[in-house]
Structure 1
């Protein structure tokens, strides 16, 4: 029987399925809302779903590794509160088992108390990733494999999402809309050929929007 890992080793252990949530990213800002068959939520469709570990699950893992773990903002403003950068994000220092690493979090343009909570949670996940926490979810692939093929085929079920992305990019009405639609592409586990096709669609639509401006 393997000895249970502790400390920073435990932080790198994969999270169980029941602690992994899905974050829907509608392909269009004005996408019609409906009941999602993948996550069960009610949001704009079609959408890409990104896997992530929530604040509570991450906090539980940090406590397992080090009951005295802590975090602090990198800088404070004149009012004594955590300093936000010009984009509304916040840099933090996360310390676990005596090791400190940086992290960055933002609230996706939100404001108010809930925005700060989201900003903190995002920063903690980002900093914990520097320790290896949920790294497999950030990577969206297999990190440790002896032999990697030059080009990976996309997992089944992604073909429709890729097609929806191409259509959404062609219908984008502004560069801002195009950037938002294409944001999930970097997280998709797709082949080089498919990524190139999406890149071509993105570049073509961006040129068209610039010309029409």
Structure 2
């Protein structure tokens, strides 16, 4: 397999990447933006999207409905959903709120007309190189600030997969700036990743333990951010990607929660760092950090 090389910076605006592994290698240049202007840009990126810009993606959580070919089970008859506008099992599915590529691009252009992105590596033809999971790592730069993002096309193939991967990477990197962050909920991710309704698991009828971190209680209403809850939800989202899990370990170390205990669905309690390193080893990525 050809070895990728790091993408050249070219003429694209890039800023300090203090949230990445490339902090020492990347130039600490704000390209004329003051700190006040950058903070103002971050506030604009975090403004809620208009209801007309928000879309909904249905996800069936009921195992019986899935076994019936998404035609609904006895408890969840199929009907047209008022949110996603599709025929889905009534109360047997959830609707994930998200913004599309066009809406995300429009927001970025409104904040910084000169925003840009670049892949982390190129192949021998000079094209963006995908990783072993056919995903794409990018650097997104807005107002002289640069942060990483990761995109994947799921089961799509061909040209549509490439476009979906790019759009997904831009939205993912935009979320690191706070764009559409309010639409991303840990409860929905827990239902999807666990494959069932948490109420079923509480009654002993859920899936067997997979070693994933169990979703904890909602953070208490105190000032600040519950970084452990945020990182646990991110780990669930990219449970099959060792590179992303390695980045989460670094983020956990930065916020001092890497050695915090987390409960698993089988009743065990392990350190967050140990849990992620174990998963990375299972995926063949080797231990990224010492446990």
In structure 2, C-alpha distance between the alignment counterparts of 1:105 and 1:11, rounded to whole Å:
19
Partner of 2:153: 107
Question: Within the alignment, does 1:68 sit opposite 2:114 as a pair?
Answer: yes
In structure 1, C-alpha distance between the alignment counterparts of 2:150 and 2:200, rounded to whole Å:
27
**Alpha-carbon distance, 1:200 to partner:** 6.2
Which stretches in structure 2 are left out of the alignment for 5+ residues? 1-38, 73-77, 212-291
Question: Within the alignment, does 1:20 sit opposite 2:59 as a pair?
Answer: no
Partner of 1:201: 206
**Cα RMSD for the two superposed structures:** 3.5
Partner of 1:31: 70
Question: Within the alignment, does 1:138 sit opposite 2:143 as a pair?
Answer: no
Deviations 1:139-164 (A, max 9, x none): 368xxxxxxxxxxxxxxxx9xxxxxx
Contact 1:62–1:96 (Cα < 8 Å) also in 2: yes
**Alpha-carbon distance, 1:48 to partner:** 1.9
Relative contact order: is structure 1 or structure 2 higher (C-alpha 8 Å, sep ≥ 6)?
A: 1
Deviations 1:119-153 (A, max 9, x none): 11111111000000011111368xxxxxxxxxxxx
**SS of alignment partner, residue 201 of structure 1:** coil
Could you tell me the TM-score, scaled by structure 1's length?
A: 0.64
Could you tell me the TM-score, scaled by structure 2's length?
A: 0.48
Deviations 1:16-51 (A, max 9, x none): 111111011234273128652223534553432100
**Structure with higher helix content:** 1
Which stretches in structure 1 are left out of the alignment for 5+ residues? 142-157, 159-180, 207-213
Contact 2:58–2:84 (Cα < 8 Å) also in 1: no
**Number of corresponding residues:** 161
Partner of 1:9: 43
